[in-house]
Each structure stands twice: as C-alpha cells, then as structure tokens.
Chains A and B, each alone.
Chain A
Amino acid sequence: MIAAASIALVQLEAAKSGKPSIITVGVASTAAAFQFAVSGAAGGVRAAFGSIADVPHLYAQTRRLAERNQALARANAALREQLARVPDREAVDRAAFFEPNGIIASAIGYDPENQSRVVTLDVGSHAGVRPGAGVIDEDGVVGRVIEAEPFSSKVLLVTDLESKVPAVVQRGRWWGIATGTNSRIALQYVSQDAKLRVGDVVVTGEGRSFHAGYTLGTIRAIYHPEGALYQTALLEPAVAFGRLGNVIVLPHI
C-alpha cells in the first residue's frame, strides 16, 4: 500500500510539473530497448518473408534485364560496326570544325600504274578547289592539289617524290624541307646544330599551301652524314595513306 501510494505520488508530482518522472524514464528506456530488439527482429522476419515472396518477381526481372543487356550489347556492336565503316567521316568532321572554310572531299581514284603518289578527289574547281591548295585529314597533312578539273581534282600526296613542304620540328622549332620518299617523308636540310630525337613531331611551316602547324609525321630515324652541312630525318607520316577516305581541301592561301 505504501509503495503503491509512493508511486502514485511521484507520478502525480511529475504530471503537475510537466516533466517525466523517474519511473516513467526508467520504464520507457527499458521498454525502448526491448522494443528496438523486437522491431528489429520483426523487421528481419518481415524482410525474409518478403524476399522469399519476391523471388519469382526477382527471377523474372533478372531475366528481363539480362535480355535487355543482350539487346543493348548487340545494338552497341552494330553501332560500333557502323562507326568502324565510316570513322573517317566523323574524323574529318572533327577536323572540319577547325577549318570551317575547308571543302570536304573523298578520295575516289589512284594512279593507274602506281607510279606516283597521287589521288583523285571527288571535288573540283566547281566546288572551289584550286591548284596549290593544301589537303588534310584528321591525322595531318595529306598533300596538295596539283590539278583541278571542274568536278574532280588530283592531289599529290606528301609521300610522293616530287612533294616538297616547308616543315618545322615542333619541339625545337628547327626548320627543314619535308620531301616524299614514296612511302615515307624525309626531313632534309636540317641544321647540324638541331638536337633531333626519334619521336619528335614535325609540323608544316608557313607556306603557300599550308599554314603553320599541321602535323606531317614523327621522326623515326636520323642521319648525320659526316662533314655535311645538314642532317636528315626520316618521318613516319601522320596520315594512314593506305586507308585514305574523307579529306579536307583547305582554302587556298
């Protein structure tokens, strides 16, 4: 009776003061701990039952996702194949971005006896092509126009024996003349003082067909003839002439 009365008095006192009593705090805390444990267990059980119930749905969803993945993979492969067939158009579009006045053209013909490194383009004077205009693609210098008929033009590739382009070694700004060797490019008349290195990039110098800065190729070998005034470097062309496709004819300087 005395304990019950004490408890009642404590609760009445707490109610009057508006604060939780010590009994309330104790009971609530103890209950909270148990409630946390029980609700956690209940939640786990609920989740387990839910997962078991979801298995058929998950199975169907996984199968759908797998099929979709396969379809996307096939579409991706088809797009890659399309891209592989016409990468040069996209590539030349990227190059054309920097040459808004350039004329996009395709290589349609070659020298009949493979005697000279000349290609025929499908644009001519009717489209604004002029002899002497430089021709590039995304990778670098292709050559220059040597003949322009109304609807076609002929480009002398930079690897032809008769091609001569002023060139600069990008790293040290050493000048030379880039001459074709039929399959590669020789950078001739480079001063003996120039510290050329294999791997140096060579670009065009300012000239009649090209402004400065178009990539010609990369140095692969260097020749220092004894007693000669100049040294020569052999360049690997930047452009893959074996698979020449779309190119850009630059506005005549």
Chain B
Amino acid sequence: MAEPPAWPAVTLALAAALLFQTTLGPAFALRGAVVSWILLLVIWYGFRTGWGRGLFFGLIAGACEDALSPLTAPAWTFATALIGAAAGRAGSTFVAESRAWLVPFVVVATLLRYAVFGLIMHLERRPLGESFHTVLWQSALDGLVALALMLVFPQLRGRYAADS
C-alpha cells in the first residue's frame, strides 16, 4: 500500500499546477479545452489518502481556482471538493487497481465536476463559458494525460493498486 504523499510536496504540486494552468495552459488548448492538472492532482491525492483528505484537498484546490477566476466563486470549490471525496472513496475499490478503470474514472470525474460546476453557476445566475462539446474534449484530454502519466510513472497508481 502506498504511503500518503507528504503535504509539502502536494502543496508544491498544487502551486505548480495552478501556475501552469493560469499561464501556459491556454497555449496548449485543444478545441478550447485545457487539461485540468488541478483535477488530476486532486484525484491522485484522493486515491492515496481517502475521502476525508480528498474532500479537504479538493476544497483547497477548488478555492484556489475560484480565487484566480473571479466570476466562478464558489463553483469550483464545491465541485472539486466533491471530486476529491469521490476519488478518495473510489481509491478503496477496484477502480484504483488498474489503468483500465482509472482512466474512465478520470473522464467521468471531469464530466461530473463540470456538471456540479454548471449547477452552481446556474444557481448563481451566471452563464457558462464553455460548451458541452468543449467539456467533452477536456474529459478526453484529462483521460489521455492520466493514462500517459500512469504509463510513465507507474508509482502514481492508487493505494490499492496491483502490479500490472
């Protein structure tokens, strides 16, 4: 079973993800969709630490995103927190055992996160800036990047990951 990641490393990773997404991320957009490195980090942390810490870390990460995007508060906070909790819960199931389940989980998590985000924005009477088509592209990108990371860094797989 993998050790929970140290909080300084996770903090640094979150800062790096935020910095990358707010500066260079748009340059790598595909059909208007950008890879959500913050979401990938939250999912990974949730898998490693469980639903409680996943929820808390998702809350922090989402709050940082809302701080950098003035028109979305508090949508990303709640949406990312929910995904962190879901990842923590899924980390103790078969989902964390192989890439065949992890990648679809990432895709579904992206869509689910956006659905929660959209719901909160709707309640706040704010327009959504992305079309569903763009969100689909983002979920595909997130899944691809997650697969690539797991291929390059096999140690990233979740707490109950079995050897392939």
Partner of B25, one of A110, A146, A154: A110
Quick check: A156 and B26 within 8 Å, CB to CB? no
Per-residue interface assignment for chain A, residues 100 to 122, with 1 indicating a CB less than 8 Å from any chain B CB and 0 otherwise? 00000000111111111110100
Q: Are A114 and B25 in contact (CB-based, < 8 A)?
A: yes
Quick check: B70 and A112 within 8 Å, CB to CB? Answer: no
In the complex, A162 has a CB within 8 A of chain B:
yes
Q: Which residue of chain A has its CB nearest to the CB of B24? A: A110
A147 within 8 A of B: yes
> A156–B71 Cα gap in the complex (Å)?
9
Q: Are B129 and A161 in contact (CB under 8 A)?
A: yes
Most interface-central of B33, B126, B129 (chain A CB within 10 A): B129
For the complex, what is the distance from the CA of A154 to the CA of B117, rounded to whole Å? 21
Knowing A108-B23, A120-B22 touch, does A113 contact B69 (C-beta < 8 A)? yes
B83 CB within 8 Å of chain A: no
- Interface membership of B34, Cβ < 8 A: yes
Contact B29 A113 (CB under 8 A): no
Using A117-B129, A182-B129 as known contacts, say yes or no to A112 and B65 having CB atoms under 8 A apart. yes
State whether the Cβ of A160 lies closer than 8 Å to any Cβ in chain B: yes
Interface string of B116-142 (1 = CB under 8 A from A): 010000000011111000000000000
Given A160-B129, A162-B126, A162-B127; A112-B71 close (CB under 8 Å): no
Question: Among the listed A113, A116, A117, which residue makes an inter-chain contact with B36, where contact means beta carbons less than 8 Å apart?
Answer: A113
- How many residues of chain B get a CB closer than 8 Å to chain A's CBs? 25
B32 touches A112 (CB 8 A): no
Are B129's CB and A147's CB within 8 A? no
Would A109 and B70 count as touching, CB distance under 8 A?
no
CB distance from A54 to the nearest CB of B (A): 59
Using Cβ atoms and an 8 Å threshold, which residues of chain A touch B98?
none
Q: In whole angstroms, how far apart are the Cα atoms of A113 and B38 in the complex?
A: 9
What is the CA–CA distance of A248 and B154 in the complex, to the nearest angstrom? 48
- Asked if B33 and A112 make an inter-chain contact with CB atoms under 8 angstroms apart, the answer reads no
- Cα–Cα, bound, A147→B25 (Å): 22
Q: Identify the 5 closest CB pairs spanning chains A and B, nearest first.
A: A161-B127, A112-B21, A109-B22, A115-B129, A111-B69
> Can you show 24 pairs from A to B with CB atoms below 8 A apart?
A109-B22, A109-B23, A110-B23, A110-B26, A111-B69, A112-B25, A112-B38, A112-B65, A113-B21, A113-B36, A113-B69, A113-B76, A115-B69, A115-B72, A115-B117, A115-B128, A115-B129, A115-B130, A116-B129, A120-B68, A147-B70, A160-B129, A162-B127, A182-B129
